[in-house]
Amino acid sequence: MDLPTMESVSVFLEAMAIAFWLAIGIAAAVVVVLFIIDRTQRSDAIRRNYPVLGRFRSLFSTLGEFFRQYFFAMDREELPFNRAQREWVKHAGKGKSSTMPFGSTRNIAVVGTPLFVPSAFPPLDDQFSSSEPLMIGPHCDTPYMARSFFNLSGMSYGAISKPAVTALSHGCKAAGCWMNTGEGGLSPYHLEGGCDVVFQIGTAKYGVRDSEGALDDGLLAEMAAKPQVKMFELKLAQGAKPGKGGILPAAKITDEIASIRGLPKGVDGISPNRHREASNVEELLDLLAHIRQVTGKPVGIKTVMGDPQVFADLFAVIKERGVESAPDFITLDGGEGGTGAAPMPLMDLVGMSIREALPILADIRAKAGLKDRIRIVASGKLVTPGDVAWALAAGADFVTSARGFMFALGCIQALKCHKNTCPTGITTNNPRFQEGLNVADKKVRVANYARNMVKEVEVIAHSVGVSEPRRMRRQHVRLVQPDGSSLPMDRLFPAE
């Protein structure tokens, strides 16, 4: 092997020196250009006063979100969902044991923390608590016998991707739970897995609208004729944006999505803030009766609680008209903000939390004597067994989750749902990112998540001494108070 000559070494070092000084020159030129740009622009005071260096503030602010999530935030600190919650869903989706070593990392002194009351004499292990099916819509031509108390909440095709919808459909079928279409209409991918489907009718009536945006009875009957469509949900409001209609950015509207929804391409899909046909509770009941008559299937509403008196007024009119006129179910969403992109003031500040609203609605329903007629479906950041068990004890008949199932699909909480750049392929219609979402793998994780949720809620029910999760009552839960003590939930909400 020939050794390099002194001449070749010299040439190499000269080339390296030239490259080095060329790089320095280019860097200096870039700094000068940025300095001039920053000093002359007038929109950013920091960059104007601190040219070039001021740009690092924006960079660090952008990276701060990433570093907090992965390096600095403790397991229970993050919002909207912390690492402990996401890790439980991840383990459940993989079918792994939830057994933990050395003790809980949860701070049980946090106000509002639910503490379940273990029975002094719980059932033996061979008398394990098990969940049962429950009927919805007994006065319909085709009532629905819902098999699972835990189900998938509304996420529209378009807001989430084709592979995400497909994986959810297959996973829900395997787990025996229903899938809500969201307000974006019924796509072939909702039906592909063979699961039970709840068709959500949003204020824009996507999928069942005429050319003017009004309800089209022909299309409505066509949807009802599909055997997989078990119920219809009239969306009045959702937790992400109470009082404002849905938003689908134009960048996410493909030809197929436009066809399914009945939308033009190139413009944002913005739904009205309410149904034009329903300006009061009487008109709302008329609209529900019309949909039930056309479809023959259970019809309910989805809303967020503001003034509880509205529900009292609704139930009073139902008592006058007869129990047959009642919505077959009420999906109560929390004001904590959901999967949809929304203005920050609405997401942060409008609507009651599910933790406050659910017991109130359950009490108003019970007082009206409608407990066995109207099913309550609770929704709003209920993604772990403790959350779901609390909701059932507080008065819910069913619980639905959207973000829990998103975590099962592989969501990393990148907070890019509205930008069409979701890195996991869940909330984007960009084929490049969708390629990363493997339907065959994710459908298994979705099914595992739903099954393990039911299993572990049954574990809690068994611990408090009841035979079925819906038999949990408020006396089975204590809520932590500001002084660190806890009080039974039936003392705090005694009217059920």
Q: 460 Cβ partners below 8 Å, 6+ apart? A: 116, 385, 386, 389, 469, 472
Q: What pLDDT is recorded for position 342?
A: 56
Element of type H or E holding 455:
helix 439-464
What are residue 222's phi and psi, to 5 degrees?
A: -65, -40
Q: From CA 450, how far away is CA 152, in angstroms rounded?
A: 9
Give buried/exposed letters for 249-258 (b at 16+ CB in 10 A, else e).
Answer: beebbeeebb
> What is the DSSP secondary-structure string of 369-399?
T-TTTSEEEEESS--SHHHHHHHHHHT-SEE
Nearest-5° Cα angle at 418, 416 to 420? 75
- Spell out where 149-295 has E strands: 150-152, 179-180, 197-201, 229-235, 247-248, 269-270
| Per-domain boundaries in the chain | 6-72, 125-492
Residue matched to tokens 């209920």: 382
Which residue type occupies 330?
A: I
Q: From CA 146, how far away is CA 52, in angstroms rounded?
A: 61
Q: What pLDDT is recorded for position 426?
A: 85
112 sits in the region (left: phi over 0; alpha: psi -120 to 50; else beta) called left
**Dihedral over alpha carbons 343, 349, 354, 360 (to 10 degrees):** -130
First to last CA, the chain: 90
For residue 437, the tally of other CB atoms under 10 A from its CB is 22
Q: What pLDDT is recorded for position 227?
A: 96
Q: What pLDDT is recorded for position 300?
A: 97
For residue 417, the tally of other CB atoms under 10 A from its CB is 20
Helix runs in 201-301, H state only: 217-224, 255-261, 281-295
The whole-angstrom distance between residue 134's C-alpha and the CA centroid of its chain comes to 23
Q: From CA 299, how far away is CA 326, in angstroms rounded?
A: 9
Q: What pLDDT is recorded for position 130?
A: 84
CATH code of domain 125-492: 3.20.20.70
Q: From CA 35, how far away is CA 11, in angstroms rounded?
A: 36
Q: 283 Cβ partners below 8 Å, 6+ apart? A: 277
Q: 184 Cβ partners below 8 Å, 6+ apart? A: 156, 157, 158, 159, 202, 206, 207, 246, 248, 257, 260, 261
Nearest-5° Cα angle at 38, 33 to 43? 145
Spell out the per-residue pLDDT of the chain, length 496, in tens: 566 677 776 777 788 888 888 888 898 888 888 889 888 887 777 777 878 887 877 766 666 666 666 555 555 556 666 666 767 677 677 777 666 655 566 677 788 889 999 999 888 877 788 889 999 999 999 999 999 999 999 988 888 889 999 999 999 999 999 999 999 899 999 999 999 999 999 999 999 988 888 899 999 999 999 999 999 999 998 765 566 667 777 777 788 888 888 877 777 777 888 888 999 999 999 999 999 999 999 999 999 998 999 999 999 999 999 999 999 999 999 877 655 555 665 555 677 889 999 999 999 999 999 999 999 999 988 989 999 999 999 999 999 998 889 888 887 776 767 677 788 888 887 788 778 888 998 999 999 999 999 999 999 999 999 999 999 999 999 999 999 899 999 998 886 5
Give buried/exposed letters for 272-289 (b at 16+ CB in 10 A, else e).
Answer: eebbeebeebeebbebbb
For residue 43, the tally of other CB atoms under 10 A from its CB is 6
Comparing CA positions, the residue from 185, 287, 157, 179 lying closest to residue 231 is 179
Which residue type occupies 20?
A: F
Q: What pLDDT is recorded for position 374?
A: 98
Q: Count Cβ atoms within 10 A of the Cβ of residue 405 and give its class: 0-12 exposed, 13-18 middle, 19 or more buried.
A: buried
Q: What pLDDT is recorded for position 358?
A: 96
Residue matched to tokens 């824009």: 204
Is residue 256 within 8 Å of residue 273, measured between CB atoms? no
